[in-house]
Structure 1
Amino acid sequence: MERITADEADPSEAVEGVHLSALAAGERMSLQEFRIEPGKEVPTHSHPHEQAGYLVRGELTFVVGEENAKREELVLQEGDSYVLPGGEPHEVYNDGDEPAVGIDVFSPPRTDPDWKD
């Protein structure tokens, strides 16, 4: 069994106001904690990993889909969960008044994300 303590889960500021912490990872999935400050966003991106998540606190808006195609906007509330297929372009922003905090699961594992650079 692998254990990652809170002290070992050192957050990185992936983009301004967006803090990500790589947590435990196995052979088929990995965990990541996120904290997105009010008024901040994760720009449009995609990755080959399927991504499922749970919003522990706050509110987030996901915009999903290609730039020049039909895009879907979904507002998530505290307690909502979600899943995105691998390769799906998406962006996320926090229009709320408090930080949005949650957990993402990636499959296959996302053990070397580009935000760690």
Structure 2
Amino acid sequence: MSQFFPTPAECGRHVVFGTVPIRTYAGDGLQLSLVDIPAGGVVDWHSHPQEQMGMMVSGRALFEVGDEVQELGPGDFYRIPGGVRHRVTAPAGAAQALDVFHPVRDEYR
């Protein structure tokens, strides 16, 4: 077991919003979450106290953050301040995003 290179077995695995698998890894103050949104998948309206930033890895997704709506694709960044309602959908095909949370979301360790 390495303190610098986690194995897949050391990562958290969860399913959020019924159909969206995520793989997570947390350090002392921040957390990564690799999100695989299936075609037609929805990460429905929610908010959390943690700040969230990320980047689209593949596919396209529609982000609704506060009162703004933006379709993002590979390489596009996003920022969601803590406490702001948001929703993400992948209406045209599967999409993958890498989220970063600060502080750590303990429920997704």
TM-score where L is the length of structure 2: 0.87
Shift of 1:108: 0.7
Quote the Cα distance in structure 1 between the aligned partners of 2:17 and 2:6.
23
Provide runs of 4+ in structure 1 moved above 6 Å.
Answer: none
Aligned match for 2:5, one of 3, 6, 19: 3
Q: Which residue does the alignment assign to 2:14?
A: 12
Letter matched to residue 109 of structure 1: V
In the alignment, is residue 108 of structure 1 matched against residue 98 of structure 2? no
The Cα shift of 1:7 comes to: 3.9
> Secondary structure, in 3 states, of the residue corresponding to 1:112?
helix
Q: Counterpart of 2:29 in structure 1: which amino acid?
A: R
Structure 1 counterpart of 2:28: 27
> What is the CA deviation profile of residues 5-52 of structure 1, one whole-angstrom value per residue up to 9, with x for unaligned ones?
2344353221233111112x2222111110000111011000000001
Are 1:63 and 2:64 an aligned pair?
A: yes
Letter in 1 for 2:35: F
1:79 to 71, 75, 80: 75
Choose the corresponding residue for 2:85, options 72, 84, 89. Answer: 89
Query: What is the CA RMSD across the aligned residues, in angstroms?
Result: 1.7
Q: Which runs of 5+ in 1 are unaligned?
A: 66-70
